[in-house]
Amino acid sequence: MNASAPAPALVLVTGISGSGKSVALHALEDAGYFCVDNLPPELLRDFIAVERARNGQARQVAIAVDVRSAGSLPHLLPLIGQLRQEGVAVRSYFLDASTDALLRRYSETRRPHPLSADPASASPRALVDAIELERQLLAGLRDLSTVIDTSQLRPAQLARWLRAAVGSKGATLTLVFESFAFKFGVPLDADFVFDLRVLPNPHYIRELRPLTGRDAPVADYLKAQPEVGEMLAQIEGFIGRWLDAFNDGQRAYLTVALGCTGGQHRSVYAAEQLAQRFAARAATLVRHREQDALA
């Protein structure tokens, strides 16, 4: 490779089949990325060399890699580390979803799973077995990536979240504060989960019920509750105490999930408040899983 040419920024999109990789790649394409679907990992270094030879005109590049390249995945994992050491800004995003969500999506689309054929048997694999095998094959790549749980996300919501992720600062740790409803499941991408259901619930106050934690009347109500302030201070203290250690671990993202019953009042307020408190110390993103789905 031409060492004098700028190293291209590279977004790697991977994950479980049916988790939304096509949606993610289309979103990045709409955002101005040059996208390549299922490039064989053996060609990745040559592809980067071609990008560097484009008269110094670096462009944003996104590449989708999935289980169809399973035979090459053992070579991809060390290659990502080598490229990062060589100055290539590789940012890997792994899309995941619960098995129940994947089964439902395959039932709706009636498409076969890429691992449905079993070379050792005349019968195809059961869908749930194919999904489990895929999780095993991609486990190493998942560990190297920022995970986005798409189980409860609509396509437009996933597109917004991914564009926000790739648009954030990539050189330092990004704190993601995500609100959610426990009744719809805990996010798979959470590094830490805090349960806010023990706090006073604005849902039981008639005039606050239709509002969210981003509305001033709800925020004023929660701010006046001592328990809310105490819990936020404890969460802030815990994250703050270990923030530098997570940064030193060369993580790209740290996702803090904050859950309440409906994902409307307490968790939304807490995510907004914590993002404000850490804005001066780290790059922050705020996600409201249930509320963003309504947007």
The residue ranges of every structural domain in the chain are 10-167, 174-294
Cβ neighbours around 235 below 10 Å, total: 20
Exposed/middle/buried for 200, CB within 10 Å: 0-12, 13-18, 19+? middle
pLDDT of 158 reads 92
Q: Which residue has the higher pLDDT, 61 or 260?
A: 260
Summarize pLDDT for 179-216 with one digit per residue, the tens. Answer: 999 999 999 989 999 999 999 999 999 999 999 999 99
To the nearest whole number, what is the mean pLDDT of the chain? 88
Residue 171 has pLDDT above 60, yes or no: no
Residue 105 has pLDDT above 90, yes or no: yes
Distances from the Cα of 59 to the Cα of 11, 25, 113, 224, 243, angstroms = 11, 16, 33, 49, 32
Task: Round to whole Å and give the CA distance between 276 and 136.
Answer: 38
Summarize pLDDT for 51-103 with one digit per residue, the tens. Answer: 877 755 667 899 998 887 766 777 788 888 888 888 888 889 999 999 999 99
- Which residue, 87, 97, 7, 79, is CA-closest to 39? 79
Cβ neighbours around 59 below 10 Å, total: 11
pLDDT of 169 reads 57
pLDDT of 166 reads 83
pLDDT of 121 reads 79
Question: What is the mean pLDDT of the segment spanning 158-169?
Answer: 82
Question: What is the mean pLDDT of the segment spanning 247-261?
Answer: 84
Q: Which residue has the higher pLDDT, 52 or 171?
A: 52
The answer to whether the CB of 212 falls within 8 A of the CB of 286 is: no
The owner of tokens 């830490």 is 192
Task: Tell me the pLDDT band of 249, cut-offs 50, 70 and 90.
Answer: low
Name the CATH superfamily, with its identifier, for domain 10-167: P-loop containing nucleotide triphosphate hydrolases (3.40.50.300)
Summarize pLDDT for 120-138 with one digit per residue, the tens. Answer: 777 888 999 999 999 998 9
Task: Tell me the pLDDT band of 294, cut-offs 50, 70 and 90.
Answer: confident
- Beta strand segments in the chain, E: 10-15, 34-37, 61-64, 90-96, 146-149, 174-181, 192-195, 253-260, 283-288
**Separation of CA 207 from chain center:** 35
Task: Tell me the pLDDT band of 1, cut-offs 50, 70 and 90.
Answer: very low
pTM for the structure as a whole: 0.76
Task: Tell me the pLDDT band of 104, cut-offs 50, 70 and 90.
Answer: very high
